[in-house]
Amino acid sequence: MARISRTCALMAAALAFAPPAFAEADDADLAREDRIAELEAKVALLADELASVRDQVVVPADPELVSEYGLGPAASKIYGVERGLSIGGYGEAFYTNYVADQGNGTDRARDQADFLRAVLYLGYKFSDNIIFNSEIEFEHAGTSGGGSASVELAQLDFLWKDEINFRAGLLLLPMGFINEVHEPNTFFGVQRPLTDRQIIPTTWRENGVGIFGRIGETLEYRSYVVNGFDAAGFSDSGVRGGRQKGSRALAESLAWVGRLDWTPEPGMLLGGSVYVGNSGQSLQVDGNTLPSALLTLAELHAQYENGPFWFRGVFAMSHLDEAGSLNRVLSRPTDAPIANLMLGSYLEVAYDVWPLLFGEASKYFAPFFRVEYVDTQLRTPSGFDSNEEKETWLFTPGLQFKPIPNVVLKAEYRNFQPRGGQIADEFSIGMGYAF
């Protein structure tokens, strides 16, 4: 009997201790399941973060990028990311055949194929209010054979309110259309207009600081103080050689540039800009100090786009004080001097015929025509004769095809009509992209 009692007691004790063992096993299983669920949540979060980085950096949210704060559409990509890094860019290449007025011997124009530019936009959004943006350009496919690598834009934006924001660094000067917005899918033609090279020396960038903003729904402005030109680089071809490009730029002479744009209705843009600054930089040549050489450059621009129709016009003019003294100090030829007055203008029209040909607007195919007049010797100082080869009419018919908004194929014929001498006509085809 006692033995049965002991057996029952042992069984009772075993039953008493069994539930905690089973409970511990259940708790371990639950902990394991919770841990697995936590890891799965972290993996899902990481996947979402990677997808977000891919969308922000690699794949644009909108296949047709939009210009912001005066910059090109691809250059504006940084303003659309939530935080961190943004990568964009553009490139263009062309083939040119000289088809008339070629000259002979060593003066003969040579046909040319060139990968003109490959550009990277690198931006970083530190916060909603502080943004860095840069443009790194590789020209002519390398640094040998006349190629180069350079910084064309490197600026910090401090966003405050719509009406006023602040900008500092290596800035693109806000003049004309193409100096700020020069991605190849944003302008017509293989080559940029002469006005945007010889009168407005695109691409033109200098070190400076300034403000920018929007006033209401229709007005936008930019106003910068920058280092001035180096007048020692001026020539009968214009002021392009006086750009300092942010590289150890002389800043004895400063300049101001301002721009105002008005959008009275969707698709229409009217505006103008002014640049004023001395260019002498207190330089000495053969013991003689360069004059102040105050340069005033002003331009008016208009653009209208309505459905398939496109129109653009630019008028630009510059005045250089003390041009006579500058020519004498620099010993410029009397028949190819730096001018007092320079002028350039063009009108451009285009029409998208793709919907007419195919009944839908999935692609863009537009014949265009540009007429342009440039004279970098409009008025020369007393005692100097103008170089008549620098006065020319230019007629440019062409075609522009965009299979998608960010890729463009181009063809054009440039017919030069100089007042004196000959300039070879050009037939060019080209390609470009932006992302």
Average pLDDT over residues 99-118: 77
Residue 69, domain member (yes or no): no
Residue 147, domain member (yes or no): no
Statement to judge: residues 263 and 221 lie in one domain: yes
Which run of H or of E encompasses 427? strand 425-434
pLDDT at residue number 25? 57
Q: Residue 194: phi, psi to the nearest 5? A: -60, -40
Residue 153, domain member (yes or no): no
Residue 424, domain member (yes or no): yes
Tell me how many domains the chain contains.
2
Statement to judge: residues 369 and 421 lie in one domain: yes
Question: Model-level pTM?
Answer: 0.85
Cα separation, 324 vs 340, in Å, equals 8
Helices first, then strands: H and E counts in the chain: 3, 18
Average pLDDT over residues 399-421: 97
Statement to judge: residues 407 and 367 lie in one domain: yes
Confidence of residue 336 (pLDDT cuts 50, 70, 90): very high
Statement to judge: residues 40 and 110 lie in one domain: no
User: Which pair of structure tokens corresponds to residue 3?
Assistant: 């033995």
Average pLDDT over residues 120-140: 97
Cα separation, 197 vs 238, in Å, equals 9
Cα separation, 318 vs 379, in Å, equals 11
- Checking if the pLDDT of 63 tops 90, the result is no
**Closest by Cα among 296, 182, 171 to 223:** 171
Structural domain including 352 reads: 88-114+163-434
Residue 321, domain member (yes or no): yes
Partners of 133 in the beta sheet?
Answer: 123, 155
Residue 132, domain member (yes or no): no
Residue 141, domain member (yes or no): no
Domain CATH for 284: 2.40.160
Each residue of 241-261: pLDDT tens digit? Answer: 999 999 999 999 999 999 999
Cα separation, 302 vs 273, in Å, equals 12
Which run of H or of E encompasses 355? helix 354-358
Distance of CA 310 to the CA centre of its chain: 21
Cα separation, 63 vs 56, in Å, equals 12
Residue 143, domain member (yes or no): no
